[in-house]
Amino acid sequence: MTDFWAGVQWIYNEGRPMWLTRAGRLLTPAQMEQRERLFRAGHDPDDDYVPDINGRDATLGPIVAVERTTRNMSQRDLAAVAGVSQSMVARLERGMREPSWRTFRLLLEAMRLVPVLEVRELDAQTTAPSSSSESVGGP
């Protein structure tokens, strides 16, 4: 595995700190942090890799982002109503972390939505999930 940081430069673009990649892409520090995590986990950050388990898990952050923007709420407003920090909402929406079930429920309820969970039997062509994907957040 090559060095992740080889050829990457720290620059300022219009007064904002950015990373300039070997491929010439400008990335924010948060985007670069996410790329480094993917790299260390053995994934090519330049692939269209979505950090979910076996490609079967929906990421919850984009659901929160779409619903929030549909309701013309700011991250700060949503966070205040849900009782979480604005930075947590931002990290969830960027896909930097997945919310616990409790946090996801609180965010949806703050937008006057209710999460609905459906459980189905696996069909013959679907393999059972690994133990890392079986856990679900709190109640």
65 in the same domain as 105:
yes
Domain that holds residue 95: 61-110
83 in the same domain as 39:
no
Tell me whether residue 97 is in a domain: yes
Tokens of 105: 């429920």
| C-alpha pair distances (Å), 7 with each of 33, 34, 69, 76 | 16, 18, 37, 37
Tell me whether residue 122 is in a domain: no
For range 56-83, the mean pLDDT: 84
Per-residue pLDDT band for 61 (boundaries 50, 70, 90) equals: confident
| Per-residue confidence (pLDDT) for residue 77, from 0 to 100 | 95
Most confident stretch, 37-46, 62-71, 90-99 = 62-71
What gap in Å lies between CA 27 and CA 15, rounded to an integer? 14
34 in the same domain as 70:
no
pTM above 0.75, yes or no: no
Higher pLDDT, 51 or 79: 79
How crowded is residue 72: how many other Cβ atoms within 10 Å of its Cβ? 7
Q: How many domains does the chain have?
A: 2
| Per-residue confidence (pLDDT) for residue 20, from 0 to 100 | 86
3 in the same domain as 45:
yes
Provide the CATH number for the domain around residue 96: 1.10.260.40
Tell me whether residue 132 is in a domain: no
Tell me whether residue 134 is in a domain: no
Please say if the pLDDT value at position 93 is more than 70: yes
